[in-house]
Amino acid sequence: MKILFTYGVDSRDGLTPKLPGVTSDIPSESIEEIQGEGVLEKVPSLLTFIDECYRLLPAGGKAIFSAPYYASSKAWTSPLTIRGITEYSLNFSDKTWREANKFTEATVLADFEIQGSFAIEDSCMQRSEEARQFWINKYLNVAQCVLFTLIKR
């Protein structure tokens, strides 16, 4: 089974829609893939949510998320938004990162390989990679969305 975490009425072929946090009825390691768009910035506890995704996926399973980039004008349009999301927001879900950075402020069980990228403004897409990185780092609203693929180790 593949699930789509959503707070709305989103649906996608082949994905079962679920509210984040309403997964206690799903057995551990029984979900092939998780997707979510616009949920990371809204879940009450990002730590708890990522640990739950980890519980649901088998080794090699993927969780794919997109969220408005914290500096984008779209990041704060929903009244449900409680946090900004950056390219670093899910670093804690990598055990190696937690150990290297002595992350001890919370207990986290997840151990994901993290792959990240940006969806950026169309006018910036035609530029070189170096120029795109400069724009993302220096100008607000260039990065519209941050994309994550988490692969369970």
State phi, psi for 42 to the nearest 5 degrees: -115, -20
Q: How many residues does the chain have?
A: 153
Instruction: List, in order of start, the domains of the chain with CATH numbers.
Output: 2-152 (3.40.50.150)
pTM: 0.86
Check if the beta carbon of residue 143 is closer than 8 Å to that of residue 137.
no
CA dihedral for 56, 61, 64, 70, sign (positive or negative) = positive
* DSSP code, position 69: B
pLDDT in tens, the chain (153 residues): 999 999 987 788 999 999 998 999 999 999 999 999 999 999 999 999 999 999 999 999 999 999 998 988 789 999 999 999 999 999 999 999 999 999 999 999 999 999 988 766 666 566 777 876 776 666 656 667 888 999 999
